[in-house]
Structure 1
Amino acid sequence: MRGLTVLPSGRAGRGRLFVNLPDGRAVAWYDRRANRVSLLEADRREAVLAALGPYLGGEVAVGPPPVPTPAERLRLALPPDRDLAPNRPGEPMLGELVYGSPGTRARHRLRREIGARELMGAELDSLEALDWRVLHAVPLPGGGLIDHVLIGPAGVFCIATVPGRRQRVQAGDLLLTVGRAGPRPDVRRVRRAAARAAHALRAPVTPVVAVVEASAVEVAPTLRDVRVLQPATAAPYFTTATATLKPPDTEALFSLARDTRTWLP
C-alpha cells in the first residue's frame, strides 16, 4: 500500500519503528530488541513488511501485538509531557545555551558541562543493547537534577558527571577537586540525590561520580559508598557487577522512573 510511513519512537536506533497511515494512525510497529513486527491490521501485512523492509534483519516474528506487561501498560498510559525517556544529556543546559543570554565565560562553562554529559550519556546509552535502561536529566524538587539514572541487571545507579578538563581530579568523602580549582560538592550532592532516588523508586540506589576527560583520577580510600568512574571504565564496571534485578524488575523500575510524577509529586 502506498502512503505508509515509518517513524521512530524514542532515542534514535533504540526505540520502536511505527508504520503509519497518511492520517497518522499506526497500523503496525517493529520492536528492534525483540525483532518482532506487531500488526494492528492483519490485512496490511504485506504492505507493512514492504515498508519496513530496509530496517528488518534476520528471522523476524510477525503477528498481533503481544499482551502488554504491567510495565508496558504504565508506559502506554504515560502522557508525552510527563515522559523523561526522550530527554537528552544536559537537557536544561542545552535550553539555557540556546535560549538564554549567557556571557562568554558562562557559555564556555555550559558547553564544557554539556559535552561531558553527552560523552558519558553516549557510553550509558550503549548499554541498552545489554538490557540496561537509562534516563538523562531527571528533575528533582527544588530545581535539582540527576544527570543520569541507570537501571539494569546490577541495580539502579544515580550518576553525576564532572568535566575533568584534562587535569588531575581528586575525590574525597564530601568534595571533589579538579586541578587547582576550588573544591566542588559533587560527591555530597550525588549521595543526596541517590537517597532521593531510592525513596522515589523504593529500591536501593548506588551513587556514582563520572569524571570525563581527566588526566588522572585519585579517590580517597575512605570513599566507599560512592563509585568514581570514567567513561572508559563505566561499561566494564556495570556489565560485570553482580546481577540483582531480573528483566521484568528492570522494566518495572524504568517505567516508574521515566514518569515525572515519580520525582515531582
Structure 2
Amino acid sequence: MSGLRVVPTWRNGQERLYVCLTDGQNVAWYDREAARVNLLSEDRKEDVLDALVPFLTGPVTVGPPPFPTPAELALLNLHPDDDLAPNRPGEALLVALDRDPAPTHRLRPDPRRRALLAEQTVGEVLDRLAGAGWHALHSIPLPGGDHIHHLLIGPGGLFALHAVYARKHRVQLADPMVTVGRRESLPLLRRVRADADRASYALTAEVHPVLALVSPAHVSGSAMPRDVHVVRDSEIAELARLGGTLKPADVEGLYAMARDRNTWGRV
C-alpha cells in the first residue's frame, strides 16, 4: 500500500485530482485537461501513478510541475480538510438536516427545506459561471455558527450572496427589513451587509453584498438599498458581465485565500 489518496477539486471549471499523503500533504496532481501528471516528489512517481490508475483517461505526460503561481503554491500547501472548494450549495443545511431531520408528522414543511432549495438554486447558477473566469464557494463557515451562503470571485470583483426562497411571493423591501409574502419581516439586508463586511475583512478586499431572491412574484420597496445588489435568481449571471476590476492573477490569489477554512477563523 502506497498510503496515498486522491482528492478531486475544481479549478476554472475543470477537475483537478490531487494526490496526497495520509497527513494531507500534496505530492502530485493530475490535470485532465492538459493530460499531465505533475510530480512534486520524483521518488513517489510509481506510487502516484498507481494511485491515479482508476482516474486516468488516456496517455499522460509525467514530470515536475510548471513554475507555480503564488496562488498555486498556496493551494499545494492547503490541507484537504481545510479546503472549502468541495462544499456543496447549502452544505451547512444538508448536514443539519441529516443530523436532525424534521419529524414526519409536522403539519407544515420544514422551513430549512425551502432555505436549502434557495441555496441550491443560487449555487447552480454561480457554478455555471466557472468557464468565464469566475469562482464560486458555498456555505462558508464563520465563527459563531454563521455561514456565508455563497461567495463569487471573478474579473468583476467579489460578491457575498445571501439566498432567500420567495417562490410566487411578493417581496417588500424597507431597509433593513425584507418581507416575503405573509412571513414575518426580517432585517435580512443588515445580515447581507454583515456577511460582506466580514468577507472584506477576511480577504482584505472589497466584497459587494447581494440579496438573491429565488423566483419571487414581484419585488418592490419604499426604501430600496443603494449599497446592496438585489437580484432574482434569473438575474445573477448579470453580475459576471460587470466591468473587469481584477486581473486573473488577483482572482486566483483571492480564490486560493477564500477557499482556506483558516482564512475565516478570525472574522
* TM-score tier after normalising by the smaller chain length: 0.7 to 0.9
CA distance in 2, matches of 1:188, 1:39: 46
CA distance in 1, matches of 2:186, 2:83: 31
Measure how far apart 1:184 and its partner are: 1.8
1:82-117 per-residue CA deviation (whole Å, 9 max, x = no partner) reads 111111111121111112143436862111111111
Cα gap change, 1:215 to 1:80, in 2 (>3 Å) = same
1:25-45 per-residue CA deviation (whole Å, 9 max, x = no partner) reads x9975435x64523537x98x
| Equivalent in the alignment of 2:102 | 102
| Equivalent in the alignment of 1:139 | 141
CA distance in 2, matches of 1:209, 1:27: 41
Q: Supply the RMSD in Å over aligned alpha carbons.
A: 3.2
Q: 2:186 is matched by which residue type in structure 1?
A: R
> Equivalent of 1:153, from 155, 159, 165?
155
1:83 aligned to 2:64? no
**Normalised TM-score (structure 1):** 0.81
| Equivalent in the alignment of 2:203 | 201
Contact kept, 8 Å, 1:155 with 1:243, in 2: the verdict is yes
Q: 1:261 is matched by which residue type in structure 2?
A: N
| Equivalent in the alignment of 1:168 | 170
CA distance in 2, matches of 1:106, 1:62: 57
| Equivalent in the alignment of 2:243 | 242
Q: Secondary structure at the match of 1:122?
A: helix
| Equivalent in the alignment of 1:3 | none
Once structures 1 and 2 are overlaid, which stretch shifts more, 196-205 or 89-98? 89-98
CA distance in 2, matches of 1:178, 1:55: 52
1:191 aligned to 2:193? yes
Percentage of matched positions with identical amino acids: 43
Q: 1:70 is matched by which residue type in structure 2?
A: P
| Equivalent in the alignment of 2:255 | 254
1:116-173 per-residue CA deviation (whole Å, 9 max, x = no partner) reads 1111101001111111111101112222110001100001101000000321112232
Cα gap change, 1:164 to 1:134, in 2 (>3 Å) = same
Measure how far apart 1:52 and its partner are: 7.0
CA distance in 2, matches of 1:105, 1:144: 28
CA distance in 1, matches of 2:152, 2:233: 14
1:130 aligned to 2:132? yes
Higher helix share: 1
CA distance in 2, matches of 1:76, 1:151: 20
| Equivalent in the alignment of 2:3 | none
Cα gap change, 1:105 to 1:68, in 2 (>3 Å) = farther
Measure how far apart 1:8 and its partner are: 6.5
CA distance in 1, matches of 2:180, 2:120: 19
Name the count of aligned residue pairs: 250
**Normalised TM-score (structure 2):** 0.80
Q: Secondary structure at the match of 1:141?
A: coil
CA distance in 2, matches of 1:170, 1:112: 19
Contact kept, 8 Å, 1:219 with 1:228, in 2: the verdict is no
Contact kept, 8 Å, 2:9 with 2:18, in 1: the verdict is no
Q: Secondary structure at the match of 2:184?
A: coil
> Equivalent of 2:226, from 217, 224, 243?
224
Ranges in structure 2 where 5+ consecutive residues have no aligned partner = 1-5, 21-25
CA distance in 1, matches of 2:256, 2:29: 20
| Equivalent in the alignment of 1:10 | 9
Contact kept, 8 Å, 1:121 with 1:136, in 2: the verdict is yes
Q: 1:156 is matched by which residue type in structure 2?
A: L
CA distance in 2, matches of 1:207, 1:141: 19
Contact kept, 8 Å, 1:172 with 1:220, in 2: the verdict is yes
Q: 1:9 is matched by which residue type in structure 2?
A: P
